Amino acid sequence: MAGRRVWESLPAIVQILAAVAAAYSIAHWGLGHAVPLLAITVTINSLGFTRDARPVRVAETVLGILLGVALGDALALLVGHGVWQLVVVLAVVLVVGRAVSANPAFAVAAAVPSAIVVMLPPPAGGPFSYTLDAFVGGVVALVATALIPRDPRRAAARDGRALFSVLEESTGSIVDGLADADPAAAELALTRLRRAQPLVDAWGTSLDSALSVARISPWVHRHLPELRRGARVLGGADLAVRHLRTIARRSEFLVRDGRPRPELAGLVSQLAAGIRLLGAEQGDPELAGAARAELSHLAVRLDPRAVVPGAPVTDVAILLLLRPLVVDLLDASGLDPDAARALLPPVA
């Protein structure tokens, strides 16, 4: 686990080291500041190891730190350095930080460097030298976000695989529940699907971060179409989680009578195959279109009169719940929603 964390953090480590070296060089040799502590501190804190590497997030952190350093510099000129001065500066910075941004982290980002400014001796370079160092660090951090980006697709791909793994396991449990009249299997599917929302949120965060970096970075801009397809698939997967929760709940209630439903199990099994292919397409371009073909074939089969003729309404309800789910997944695969709906047999 420790080795995996380090391996996954290597791009961030390389980015931070390169940015720190650049910030130090500019402030030390370019501006003549002997110890450009704030340039280094701002660079590290702005980039960090956070999952959210969006430029707007980095910019927000930079602005918070610059605000804190500038206020610290200005107030230190007025009140000097010392314990009570530290308290006064922190009070002002925290109040201003909370007023400027609704994000509590913004005020904290501003407070820490302001405390450093007040605790350090007056800079040899004159008033606002610390602010200038912080500005250098902030600019370098923003430039590093674009020119030395972390791989924007790695985290997104990993989060996508995790979500589709849960979807595959869940649909498999629904199939088992319907085929074997096993309420426990359907209940297991529901339990698994309840774990899916954090995975949806994680994939959304990593994709949003990747898209933001790809829009400004010349090195990864070419991956924008791929990332936008991933965002479309995420939307379908999110809806699939919601639909499957309802289907699992209905299935668990339905099979309590001990009667297997092989016809419905067959439909959900084909759905599981389509979901598996949709997830596999994200990492294998050669599979492009396979999920759409599988789900299209399933869509034309979703006719209650053909699959479960004369079945009670409780059985038909499961099939009817599959119809909007298949349309959403076909939309995620790239098929126009109207064309997807047109594949469904009419329901009298």
Q: How far apart are CA 193 and CA 197, in angstroms?
A: 8
Q: Which of 83-92, 106-115, 121-130, 285-294 has the lowest mean pLDDT?
A: 121-130
CA angle 146, 150, 152 (to 5 degrees): 90
- Alpha-carbon distance of 291 to 293, in angstroms, equals 5
The alpha carbon of residue 246 and the mean position of all alpha carbons in its chain are separated, in whole angstroms, by 25
Maximum mean pLDDT: which of 34-38, 225-229, 273-277: 273-277
Ranges of each domain in the chain: 2-147, 154-343
- Picking from 259, 249, 39, the residue whose alpha carbon sits closest to that of residue 138 is 39
Residues 38 and 137: their CA atoms lie apart, in Å, by 7
Tell me what pLDDT residue 348 has. 63
Give me the chain's average pLDDT, please: 88
Residue 25 pLDDT exceeds 90: yes
pLDDT in tens, 262-311: 999 999 999 999 999 999 988 787 888 899 999 999 999 999 888 888 88
Higher pLDDT, 115 or 285: 115
Assessment of whether the complete model's pTM goes beyond 0.85: no
The helix or strand, by DSSP H or E, that contains position 52, with its residue range, turns out to be none
Instruction: Take residue 348 and report the two structure tokens written for it.
Output: 């009298």
Span 46-93, pLDDT tens digits: 887 776 667 777 888 888 888 888 888 888 888 887 788 889 989 998
Element (H, E) at 93: helix 83-100
Sign of the CA dihedral with 200 first, then 202, 203, and 208 last: positive
More confident residue, 35 or 253: 253
The mean pLDDT value for 214-219 works out to 81
Q: Distance between CA atoms of 92 and 39, rounded to whole angstroms?
A: 23
Task: Give, in words, the CATH class of 154-343.
Answer: mainly alpha
